[in-house]
Amino acid sequence: MRIATWNVNSLKARMEAVEGWLDRVQPDVLLIQETKLSDADAPVMPFQMLGYDLVHHGEGRWNGVAIATRVGAEDVVTNFGDGPVRDSSSGASVAVSEDDFDPLHEARMLSALCGGVRVVTLYAPNGRVVGSPFYDGKLRWFQRLSRWLADTRSPAEPLVLGGDYNVTPSDEDVWSATRAHGGTHVSDPERDALARLRAWGLTDAYRTVNQAPGRFSWWDYRAGMFHRNEGMRIDLLYATVPVGERVVWAEIDRQARKGPPIPSDHAPVVVDLDEPGHPFDPGWEGALERIAARTRPRAQG
C-alpha cells in the first residue's frame, strides 16, 4: 500500500500536475492540502476517471483538504467532528477576509478509513510571525489535534496523520538552523507540539527508513531557494506503530517540485507499506552534488 501527502497550493491551478503525478507514482491514497476549493467545486469526476474516489473538505478561497483513494473511504470525519467550517468562497453571504482568523473554523482536517488504515489529512496553520495571533492560533490548533487523538483514537490502531504541518521536527529538517532561528516552523513551542504527537504514539514514517540529509519538502518560490536547496521538511507522515513497522520505503519527490506546469512550492512525500510500490524517479540522484558544486565559492587566484 502506497500512501502519499502533497500540499498542492490550489487544486484547480495544479490539477494537470496532479493528474500526471498520480499516473507516474500511482499511490493508493493521496492526502491533499490547500485545495482552495469549496466542496461543490471539488473535481470529483476527473479523479474518478483516474480510478480514485475523492473525499473533499473545503471552504472556498483558502485552505481545504482532500483524500484521493483507490482503496475506498469509510467513516469520514471533518474538522475534528466539531461541525461546519466557515464559507470563504467569493459568493459567501458574509464577506470573509484572510485576516478573519480562527483555525478551528477553517477546513484543515479530514479523516477516513482507507484500505484498513485510518488516514488523516492535515493542513496546519502557518503561524506567520512568532508571538502573533496567527502563531497563537496555530498552537491552539495543534492542541485541538492532540485532544482529538486522545479522545477518539488509539495508538494501537493503524493510523496515519499526513500533511503540511508547517513545522520542522528538528534542525536537520531545515537548510540552516542559524538563518531560520527565531522564526516560525522552527520555534520550540511548535516543535513541542510535534513532540506531543509522537509521545501519544506516533512515529515519523519517513525517518523510519530514510535518514538521507538535505532532503526537504518545501522551498520558497522566491530568490532561487529551490535551486540552492534552501528548504524545510514540513510535510510529514506520522504513523502509529501498526503502520510504522510496515514501512519499507519512503521518499520525497523532488522531481514534482520542478514542474512544468508551474509547480506547487511543496513536494509530495511517499511511503510504501509491506512492499515497494510502482517505481519512479524522485529526482535526488546527483541533485545535491550539482547544487553544492553550483553554489560553492570559487577559489581566488
Q: Give the tens place of pLDDT for each residue, 136-190.
A: 999 999 999 999 999 999 999 999 999 999 999 999 999 999 999 989 999 999 9
Mean pLDDT along residues 215-223: 93
Mean pLDDT along residues 188-216: 98
The CA–CA distances, whole Å, from 178 to 166, 172, 292 equal: 18, 11, 19
Strands 159-164 and 202-204, sheet pairing: unpaired
Q: What are phi and psi of 112, to 5 degrees?
A: -160, 160
What's the CATH superfamily of 2-295? Endonuclease/exonuclease/phosphatase (3.60.10.10)
- How does DSSP assign 67-99, residue by residue? EEESS--EEEEEGGG------BSTT-SS---TT
- Whether omega before 260 lies within 30 degrees of 0, making that bond cis, reads yes
- How does DSSP assign 220-259, residue by residue? -SGGGTTTTT-EE--EEEEEEHHHHTTEEEEEE-GGGGT-
Domain boundaries, the chain: 2-295
Give this prediction's pTM: 0.95
- Is 179 buried (19+), middle (13-18) or exposed (0-12) by CB count in 10 A? exposed
- Here the cell at position 277 is 510500490
Strands 218-219 and 202-204, sheet pairing: unpaired
| Residues near 206 by beta carbon (within 8 Å), at least 6 away in sequence | 233, 236, 237, 250, 252, 269, 271
Q: Is 144 helix (H, G, I), strand (E, B) or coil?
A: helix
Q: Give the tens place of pLDDT for each residue, 88-146.
A: 998 776 666 666 679 999 999 999 999 999 999 999 999 999 999 999 999 999 999 99
Rounded Cα distance, 87 and 148, in Å: 23
pLDDT of 214: 95
Amino acid identity, position 207 = R
Q: Is 155 helix (H, G, I), strand (E, B) or coil?
A: coil
